[in-house]
Amino acid sequence: MKGRPGRALAHLAVAACLASPAAGLRAGGSFDTGYGIWSPSGLWHRVSGPACVTPSSGAACVYYGMDASCDYATGQAQDSSLTTVSPVPLAAGDASVDFWLLYQVQSFDPACQDRLRLEYSPDGATWYLADDDLTVQSDPPGGAPFIGYSSGGGIGGPPLWQHLIVSLAAYAGTDYYWRFRYLSSDSQAGNPGCGPPDLFQGFLGFALDDVRLGQAPLPLELSKSVSPAVGAPGDTFTFVIDVVNTGASAADVAVWDTLPQGVAYAAALGGTISAGLARWSLASLPAGQGASVTLLAQAAPGTAVPADWVDQAEASSSLTTTPLLSPQVLAKVRAPGLSLLKTAQPGELASGENVTYSLLVENDTPLTQSALTLADQLPAGFSPAQAYPQESGPGAWILPSLAPGQVATAELWGPLFGQDGQVVVNVATVAGAGSATATASASVTVRNPVRPSITLKAVFPNPAPAHSSGAPEAAFIDYHLSVAMAVNLDVYDVSGQRVRSLSLPGGQGDQQGSWDLRNAAGRQVAAGLYVLRLWSPLEVQPQPQAIGYLAVVW
Give the separation between CA 208 and CA 550, rounded to whole angstroms: 63
Q: What domains sit in the chain, N to C, each tagged with a CATH number?
A: 38-213 (2.60.120), 220-333 (2.60.40.740), 337-447 (2.60.40.1530), 454-552 (2.60.40.4070)
pLDDT at 9: 27
pLDDT at residue number 20: 31
CA angle 271, 296, 241 (to 5 degrees): 65
In this structure, which amino acid lies at residue 265? Y
CA 76/CA 91 separation, integer angstroms:
39
The predicted pLDDT at position 24 comes to 30
pLDDT at 198: 43
Q: Please answer whether residues 490 and 547 qualify as being in contact, where contact means their C-beta atoms are separated by less than 8 angstroms.
A: no
User: Mean pLDDT in runs of 10 for the chain (554 residues)?
Assistant: 30 34 39 83 73 74 63 59 93 88 59 77 95 60 54 70 88 94 66 51 65 89 93 94 96 93 86 92 97 94 88 94 89 91 88 87 89 91 84 89 86 87 94 83 88 93 90 94 92 94 93 95 95 90 91 94
pLDDT attached to residue 8: 29
Q: Is the peptide bond before 192 cis (omega within 30 degrees of 0)?
A: no
pTM over 0.75: no
Residue 284: CB atoms within 10 Å: 11
Number of neighbours of residue 401 by Cβ within 10 angstroms: 12
